[in-house]
Structure 1
Amino acid sequence: MQRIATAEPQFSIVTIETTQYSRGFFERFGFVVERVVPGGFAPGFDLIEMELDLSWYRFGVSREKNRIRLKMTTVQMEELQNSV
């Protein structure tokens, strides 16, 4: 993810759709569940929409801290980046 975050600066969020069976895998990389649709893919296969905020990787925050959701304006992010 660090490579994606630095190589593609125009993107700030990665959104994926997965199932309950691979949800834990993506959570380990800092993805956060945004929406759950029971049976959204097929009976027994829930649609789990997950997002990863790439700004955490750009600022060098650990994956564990990436699980904390934080909404920032562009100005706030620039101020934070300049203070590091």
Structure 2
Amino acid sequence: MSRLSCEVGGFYTEEIRESGRRTGFRLITLDGRQGVLAHVDIRRAPHISKYGVDLAVLDYIGVDCLMRAIEEKDVVIIDEIGPM
């Protein structure tokens, strides 16, 4: 992405691993903000599979990032959307 001659915004997810096993996912924006999006230790609803999802992270980091990118950037990146 650093070789693109356009403005890029968006986010990606990264596995959280503890003792060699996947325990959750971190949401990371291309401008450096991040939060724990889903984790086995999040007990409140909603859940996707074994992961509790923090809707505040999705809303205040993920959605905010996308809204800004749509308004201000040439390209919007969302990686990855798929099964947890």
| TM-score, normalised relative to structure 1 | 0.30
Higher gyration radius (CA): 1
TM-score by length of 2: 0.30
